[in-house]
Structure 1
């Protein structure tokens, strides 16, 4: 029998309470994804407007990714300690105010700093979304909820290129950041009203684990971000090795923290769940593809075919629209059939679409052929997000949801940075020996190959 507690309601929530909470959280999730896609489309205009160097433009994204990814293990656990509702609202306030600062930035230095603060806000709120969804919905209804979450991703992907192209072509790049302000206010009010409070963990979070996690993740990400610009010299390899050694020390510290009756950031118990481990491989691969491919595609359309930012953005509409429409149906299907098998199908279809995309770019194709590939890409996308998240998280006990969400989101972000670095390295290598279209296409084919790893790991998940 459900026990009622005015301060901490028992979980899962009744459906009539859970769905408004989900919608409130999806507003913030939409903002995060919208911000990433809008900035990608606006990059050429922003570079010209602020007379920025290529390195400065890269750091507009790199600074955001760095401050977003590095604290995720910590911010996931902060939600367990201080309540995901409180941490989410704090993160949204920081994200909204820093978006305002980005729009008013008079130069690249100010913009990069504001983007770094914006990344910190995103890091605070992002893990709370998945943590709350997996607590407030019953196990056999999480697929449906995560299907709506996937629809939100599709709508943001749809709106980002379209709005980004329209805004930068009309009222100016500043408004790609100002648009976050009203959304942020709505999100704070909605979460304050509809998201419940959760009973916090009592033990203190292990301080050494926090320090080691920051050093390890920061070292790996900075090495990958700067590797291409530093031509992969020995300092980059030293920093990368230091990051991996620190990561090993972090893993060892988790067991020591548990023995000392402190809360580890990433309890090793998480990885005793087979589907959690396999799902993290899948989401890393997805991060690789999602973060690594937009830039070469946008550069190809705008530089090889001389399309405007708006026209280039419109080519992304079919895949985003299909993903948004199909995700709720796929989410409900994931509650009835194997989510791992669904995700394996999605990864396979998405990989095929990227192979076709890369091949078409090497041949210099665009137009209708490009749009047809985007339809296939939308089909693949729609069968990945909700099934992979459902398979990964649904067997975790509530006590591990915050930690699991932090690990899941950290894995996705590290995958994103690896993807950006790897695609950038291929571009730098191939652009010196091939024409632009061929170089951009070969970079896309790399993402297609990596996506096959996600198909294999998803197929290995237990029903």
Structure 2
């Protein structure tokens, strides 16, 4: 796959990347606001309705690496267009669903399409942008995802209020059709594909481990650790992980070359970026409950507050990415982790009597966290062993989406454990119990953030290759 050198081609590629990650981010957040309406429409309880979001994220987290590796076999354009077609078709199916079962099955396939889109985005940067433009590309991903994720609740609320919940899915169809036409025009033609062995057994084991692991983590707070479903899921997950490691070590063409994690430079930067996504998302998952239950914000005010972070990310992510291309990515990654650590520290001690200043500071720091995260992602590709750049790109997607899924589930589980609230919904807790759990979880987040700071600072930048010092034509 040839690197795009002309500015027009690079611009079209970056627009395509923004579109793809915006759609992914939008659909990841647009559904939650409509869950009460869907619950009422199908006469189901809240515990059942959560599967609408859970199956979507299960598909994304479990399939990202698989589709990333498939796309990197010289067919990224075909794979990405196919993913958007699947996403659009099953968005239509979701919107036309007349039963909960039909909606759930449609969400599974919509999640598959979203996984393809998420896996291809960083790969487009790695394979088609010059090395001295990689930071810009990854900054564009951060900006597009932030805009999409921040826009989801507001757009979902408007569509649900003035039309119906069906339109949070149907709106994807015309956008998807336009996007397919644009991708066919903007992306370079596929080349270099050679039919060869693909690690199907490893893929099955990975999907099994991921789905059962997320299920156990997400549902443990509702069902209890002693529940047979949780015990079975944990057992299957552990066995699948062990078998995956054994198989990948013996397979001649593994899905994931585990030897890359033996590097004393690659593993720290990978873990640091994974923690950025885990803690950053987990923290942001709990903040809306604090705003509603403790500060008394309505949904509109909370939405405006949450948008501060997205706005800052959009403003700074591309300039920071461009800057990191020239001076190195190490200290930008450290700043991202420091912003995460400081925001967690503030949230450990935050109290409604402190007013809005701590909250605004946390929102600004969160914007810096994500705005500086592009260079942290770039370090994964920078330090992966030669010939595994495609794997590095796939692991950026895995770290982002899987880290986010684990972060939300883990912080919710830790909250229930620390506050000893069991499966009582957050909205039914008294303020004292909520604050106990909230402060305790943020302390755990601070520890993880400090680990990320140390790991990011410990690995020096590679000396930029001579070619990267020459501006792209």
Under TM normalisation by the shorter chain, which class is it? 0.7 to 0.9
| Residues 129-140 of structure 1: pairs in structure 2 closer than 5 A | 129-140=121-132
SS in 1 for 2:72: helix
Matched, 1:230 2:223: yes
Q: Deviations for 1:394-444, whole angstroms, at most 9, x for unmatched residues?
A: 355785333333333234333333322322223323163843354345444
1:455 to 453, 456, 459: 453
Q: Deviations for 1:319-372, whole angstroms, at most 9, x for unmatched residues?
A: 110110000111011112231221111111122123323533x54766564234
Q: Matched residues in 1 for 2:341 and 2:45: separation?
A: 33
Match of 1:253 in 2: 247
| Residues 212 and 246, structure 1, Cα contact 8 Å, conserved in 2 | yes
Matched, 1:80 2:62: no
Q: Matched residues in 2 for 1:242 and 1:251: separation?
A: 14
1:417 to 383, 387, 405: 405
Match of 1:25 in 2: 17
SS in 2 for 1:378: helix
State the aligned residue count. Answer: 449
Q: Using a 3 Å threshold, how does the CA distance of structure 1 residues 50 and 372 change in structure 2: closer, same or farther? A: farther
Match of 2:346 in 1: 356
Q: What are the ranges of 5 or more consecutive residues in structure 1 without an aligned counterpart?
A: 1-8
Match of 2:193 in 1: 200
**Structure 1 stretch displaced more, 65-74 or 176-185:** 176-185
Q: Using a 3 Å threshold, how does the CA distance of structure 1 residues 19 and 308 change in structure 2: closer, same or farther? A: same
Matched, 1:279 2:279: no
Q: What are the ranges of 5 or more consecutive residues in structure 2 without an aligned counterpart?
A: 422-429, 462-473
State the TM-score, normalized to the length of structure 1.
0.87
Matched, 1:383 2:372: yes
C-alpha displacement of 1:47: 4.5
Q: Matched residues in 1 for 2:328 and 2:72: separation?
A: 29
**Structure 1 stretch displaced more, 92-101 or 443-452:** 443-452
Q: Matched residues in 1 for 2:341 and 2:134: separation?
A: 26
C-alpha displacement of 1:272: 5.1
| Residues 213 and 237, structure 2, Cα contact 8 Å, conserved in 1 | yes
Match of 1:374 in 2: 363
State the superposition RMSD in angstroms.
2.8
Q: Matched residues in 1 for 2:42 and 2:445: separation?
A: 31
Q: Using a 3 Å threshold, how does the CA distance of structure 1 residues 380 and 410 change in structure 2: closer, same or farther? A: closer
SS in 2 for 1:209: helix
Match of 1:439 in 2: 437
SS in 1 for 2:251: helix
Q: Deviations for 1:125-175, whole angstroms, at most 9, x for unmatched residues?
A: 211111121011121221122222222123223323433444444444333
Q: Using a 3 Å threshold, how does the CA distance of structure 1 residues 378 and 122 change in structure 2: closer, same or farther? A: same
Q: Matched residues in 2 for 1:53 and 1:426: separation?
A: 24
Q: Using a 3 Å threshold, how does the CA distance of structure 1 residues 268 and 207 change in structure 2: closer, same or farther? A: same
Q: Matched residues in 2 for 1:90 and 1:98: separation?
A: 12
Q: Using a 3 Å threshold, how does the CA distance of structure 1 residues 230 and 31 change in structure 2: closer, same or farther? A: same
Q: Matched residues in 1 for 2:165 and 2:293: separation?
A: 19
